[in-house]
Amino acid sequence: MRLINMIKLSSFLMLFLCTSVLQAQTKKGDVLIKNGTVITITDGTLENTDVLVRNGKIDRIGKNLKAPNGVEEVDATGKFVMPGIIDAHSHIAGTSINEGTSQVTAEVSMEDVVDPLDVGIYRALAGGVTSIHLMHGSANVIGGQNETLKLRWGSTNPEDLRFEGAPRTIKFALGENPTRGGRSRGIQPQSRMGVEAMLRNTFNDAIKYRDAWNAYRSNKSSRKVAPEYSLRMETMVDILEGEVLVHCHSYRADEIYMLMKVFSDFGIEKLTFQHANEAYKVAPELAEFGASASVFSDWWAYKLEVYYSTAYNAAILTENGVTTSINSDSGELIRHLFHEAAKTQKYGDLSDNEALALITLNPAKQLGIDNRVGSLEKGKDADIAIFDNHPLSIYAVPQMTFVDGVKYFDIENDAADQRIYIDPESTVEDVQILYSNDHDRCMEGANVVNFTDLFNNK
């Protein structure tokens, strides 16, 4: 090739590389994790096995792999290597949780309020968590859209945390939370009857909206007038068409059953119940519908609707063929989800793999990202957590956490102060003591107090 053409070609290539580097904003890494006990979830547990990561993906799992030039080696001898943990119900990394002023807010989205500066993100990484489902709160019957994130700590740009390609999901809520909201605002719903009515009414409105817009689009006239646009109804239509996965906060067996019937009536097939403390009572129905459940390990009794719970919930559901995950709904619990999953061996008899699937493959399925994460398989994202003991042991301490093959947590290099933003006007020793159990972050900012009582001194 003539020199001048070579120069042109290489500058063209340089330009191409530069632009593609700009587009590929998420960091991707290479690493060879050697000689650990590899818990794949889908293909058994392999001893003395290596995992090779190239450009953020799992390239090979096998024995005696060699590290290509420049690839860092991590010695995992005596350690346990598992897929990064996925928390299907989280409220860390968000600046607002509830748009609680209306009972239907399908148009709002948590992607607008992602907060990459929350130290809780690092603390979750230190617990082996690599992805979270940042959810809208549970103040509304039809809440806002959630956002699936990867915990790429260190950036100040919310976009860097986005789990690119993850399906859209949305939060629904049944039971005491929305009805309490209705009662405090003097609007519907104030009972579980009202909750069902609101769901059906909104879906019917969405169908009407869809018809009107379909008619407009198929109208060939150049002088057609568009119907009113509603971001809310657009989202509801997307739910009807199966493009948005519904995750519904629910507790009582009867309301879980109700939602499945409503979804059957409207032809919506995919559904995950969140918390679902009484899901075990309708496990056969859930299995038949094909709905999944994302539950607590053992929280109960903090509200009336969870008074009749059992910690054996996850075990019962799993034994009855319902895809189940265990979530945290808490910035504290997320740091030891591996311990929460292990409780299914106390409250039930789940096998090691079944228990670990509750925090890896199963939540991945519920979020529609199981083609990318949730197990250690060739071709999947290199979201990996390494422990010094079997993760289901109480004595396990997370050692390293990788997202896209990049190491974001290493216990050997764990500086105490991980904050990426510090208020210059804050005091240096800023002590915060939280006295109450952070159970219902789901209701944060939902303004559900009854103020008529509050100011009525007479």
Partner 1 sequence: MKILRKTLFRLLFIIPLIGFTSNLKAQSDPTGESPATRTYAITNATIVQAPGKLMEEGTIVITDGLITAVGKNINIPATAEVIDGTDMFIYSGFIDGMSNTGAERPANPERPDNLFTPDPPNYYAGITPENQVIEQIKVDENSIEAMRKVGFTISHTVPYGRMLPGSGALILLRDADHPDKLILSEGSSLYSQFSGAPGAYPGNTLGIMAKFRDLYKNAELSKNHSELYASNPEGIARPTRDRVSEAFYPVIEKKQPIFYNASNSLEARRAMRLQKELGFNLVLGNLQEGWDLADEIKSTNTKVFMSLELPKEPKNSKEEDKSDEVKRLEERRMEFYKKYVSQYAELQKAGIKFGFSSIDARSSQLKDNLLTIIEHGLSEDQVLAALTTNSAELLGISKIAGTLDEGKIGNLIISKGPYFEKKSQIKYVFVDGEKHEYDVKDGSKVKEGDETPATNLDAILGAWNYEFTTPQGTQTGKFIFTNESDILSGTMTSSDGTPDTDLQNISFLNGELSFDFSIDAGGQSVDIVVVGVVDGNNYEAEASVAAFNFTFPIQATKDEA
Partner 2 sequence: MKKFISILSVLVLLPLFAVAQNDGGIVRADNSKFALTNAKIYTVTNGVIENGTIIINNGIIEAVGADINIPGDAQVIDYSGQEIYPGMIDSGTRLGLSEIGSISEANDFREFGEITPNMQALTAVNPNSVAIPVTRVSGVTSTLTMPAGGPLPGTAATISLFGYTPDQMFAGSKGVVMNFPSTAQRGWRRRTPEQIEKAREKAQETINDAFDKAELYAKIKESDDARYYPEMEALAKVVNGEVLLYIEVNSAKDILSALEWVEERGYENVVLTGVAEGWRVAEEIAEAGLPVITGPVLSTPTRGSDAYDTAYKNPGLMQKAGIKVALRTMDTENSRNLPYNAGFAATYGMGREEALKAITINAAEIMGVGDQLGSIEVGKKANIFVSTGDPFQTSTKILDVFIDGYKIPMTSRHTELYDEFLNRTPGVNKNPTKVDG
Residues that bind partner 1 (CB under 8 A): 95-96, 98-105, 107-110, 112-113, 115, 136, 144, 156-158, 185-187, 223, 225-226, 228-232, 416-417, 419, 421-426, 428-429, 444-449, 451-458
Decide if residue 300 touches partner 2 (CB under 8 A): yes
Task: Tokens for 286, please give them.
Answer: 């859930």
Look at residues 22, 329, 25, 328 and name the one whose alpha carbon lies nearest to residue 152: 25
Q: Which of 27, 54, 57, 439 binds partner 2 (CB under 8 A)?
A: 439
* SS3 at position 387: strand
Shortest Cβ 442–partner 1 spacing (Å): 12
Decide if residue 54 touches partner 2 (CB under 8 A): no
Whether residue 227 has a cis bond before it, omega within 30° of 0: no
Q: Which of 215, 302, 378, 450 binds partner 2 (CB under 8 A)?
A: 302
Decide if residue 183 touches partner 2 (CB under 8 A): no
* SS3 at position 239: helix
If the CB atoms of residues 205 and 285 are measured against partner 2, the closer one turns out to be 285
Shortest Cβ 366–partner 2 spacing (Å): 22
Decide if residue 374 touches partner 2 (CB under 8 A): no
Look at residues 395, 374, 396, 298 and name the one whose alpha carbon lies nearest to residue 129: 374
| Pairwise CA distance, residues 378 & 410, whole Å | 24
Residues 375-414 that bind partner 2 (CB under 8 A): 392-397, 414
Q: Which of 7, 14, 24, 304 binds partner 2 (CB under 8 A)?
A: 304
Look at residues 341, 241, 248 and name the one whose alpha carbon lies nearest to residue 292: 248
Among the residue ranges 94-102, 139-147, 207-215, 339-347, the one whose residues contact partner 2 (CB under 8 A): 339-347
Is the separation of the CB atoms in 286 and 317 below 8 Å?
Answer: yes
| Pairwise CA distance, residues 436 & 415, whole Å | 28
If the CB atoms of residues 56 and 100 are measured against partner 1, the closer one turns out to be 100
Task: Tokens for 68, please give them.
Answer: 């290509």
Q: C-alpha 206: how far from its chain's center?
A: 26
Shortest Cβ 420–partner 1 spacing (Å): 10
Among the residue ranges 38-46, 133-141, 153-161, 345-353, the one whose residues contact partner 2 (CB under 8 A): 345-353
Shortest Cβ 158–partner 1 spacing (Å): 6
Task: Tokens for 362, please give them.
Answer: 């199963």
* DSSP calls for 179-230: HHHHHHHT-S-SSHHHHHHHHHHHHHHHHHHHHHHHHHHH---TT--PPPP-
Among the residue ranges 45-53, 216-224, 227-235, 344-352, the one whose residues contact partner 2 (CB under 8 A): 344-352
Decide if residue 331 touches partner 2 (CB under 8 A): yes
Radius of gyration over every alpha carbon of the chain, rounded to an integer in angstroms: 24
Is the separation of the CB atoms in 39 and 45 below 8 Å?
Answer: yes
Q: Which of 20, 21, 435, 456 binds partner 2 (CB under 8 A)?
A: 435
Shortest Cβ 226–partner 1 spacing (Å): 5
**Residue keyed to tokens 């018809």:** 211
**Residue keyed to tokens 């928390």:** 87
Residues 233-292 that bind partner 2 (CB under 8 A): 280-281, 283-285, 287-288
Is the separation of the CB atoms in 39 and 80 below 8 Å?
Answer: yes
Q: What is the largest CA-CA distance in the chain?
A: 95
Q: Which residues are 148's β-sheet partners?
A: 133
Decide if residue 160 touches partner 2 (CB under 8 A): no
Shortest Cβ 117–partner 1 spacing (Å): 8
If the CB atoms of residues 45 and 96 are measured against partner 1, the closer one turns out to be 96
Q: Which of 416, 424, 454, 457 binds partner 2 (CB under 8 A)?
A: 416
* SS3 at position 238: helix
User: Which residues of the shown chain bind partner 2 in the complex (CB under 8 A)?
Assistant: 119-120, 122-123, 126-127, 176, 280-281, 283-285, 287-288, 298-304, 307-312, 315-316, 319, 331-333, 335-336, 339, 342-343, 345-348, 392-397, 414-419, 427, 429-435, 437, 439
